[in-house]
Amino acid sequence: MIKYMDSKITNQYEYQYQSPNPSHHHLYLIKPLMEMISEYNYRLENQQKLRILDIGCGNGSLSNLIAQQGYEVVGIEESESGVKFASQTFPNCHFIQGNIYNLPYTEIGEKFDIVIAAEVIEHLFYPKELVRNAKKCLKPNGRLILTTPYHGYLKNLMLAVSGEMDKHFTTLWDGGHIKFFSVATMNALLESENYTDIKFKFAGRFPYLWKSMLCSSTLVK
């Protein structure tokens, strides 16, 4: 059984959003992310505007960037201050407060063509719950797009040889990364929950030393 943090503790450590600027990783993620969205949009037979759910949307900046391309975007964020800030700053999107482990399905409304979680899954104690809960939000044949820092053999080897391992995997960053994915482990996670047509793109830095990977998959219902 999954146990949640006491609400007082959650509020005590809530991140306070004060800037509308995109996070640093959005700068190198946005191009391949929009390519993945466009590829799916192109494959659809209908011409209706895609409905996209952005889970863990933070200050709403990524939701806004996606909405500017003509998509209908709903953002989910646990931080009360994040939802308030995003709603005030980006009125072209709709933002709802909710926990990733217990999404507010009644408020989300109809199901989505695409669910996105950008640089979120690496912060979760129970990453499989994100993949499972996304199922309840997707239309048949909808796409789940996850982005997370890339960890492959060569990159990990370079971190060790260069003496950067402790810095990269530091335990001193409150709210930092607690899960680290490779292509193989991301594949295994998605396949365990019956996702298929798994495709990857990579972003940032050099080949095989990428900063992040983007993974798109279809839900089999």
In a domain, 15, yes or no: no
Q: Is 91 helix (H, G, I), strand (E, B) or coil?
A: coil
How confident is the model at residue 196, as a pLDDT? 96
Q: Give the residue-averaged pLDDT of 113-128.
A: 95
pLDDT mean across residues, the chain: 86
| Stronger pLDDT, 159 or 79, i.e. the higher one | 79
pTM above 0.85, yes or no: yes
Determine contact, residues 79/67, Cβ cutoff 8 Å.
no
133: confidence class by pLDDT, cuts 50, 70, 90: very high
Q: Domain residues for 142? A: 23-219
How confident is the model at residue 6, as a pLDDT? 43
Of 143, 56, 131, 125, residue with least CA distance to 96:
56
In a domain, 10, yes or no: no
Answer whether residue 47 shows pLDDT above 70: no
Answer whether residue 44 shows pLDDT above 90: no
CA angle 146, 71, 63 (to 5 degrees): 50
Tell me: the pLDDT tens digits for 10-28?
555 556 666 666 667 778 9
In a domain, 209, yes or no: yes
In a domain, 179, yes or no: yes
In a domain, 77, yes or no: yes
In a domain, 172, yes or no: yes
| Stronger pLDDT, 178 or 151, i.e. the higher one | 151
Q: What is the tally of structural domains in the chain?
A: 1
**Dihedral pair phi/psi, residue 113, rounded to 5°:** -75, -40
Return the CATH number at 162.
3.40.50.150
In a domain, 4, yes or no: no
How confident is the model at residue 14, as a pLDDT? 59
In a domain, 11, yes or no: no
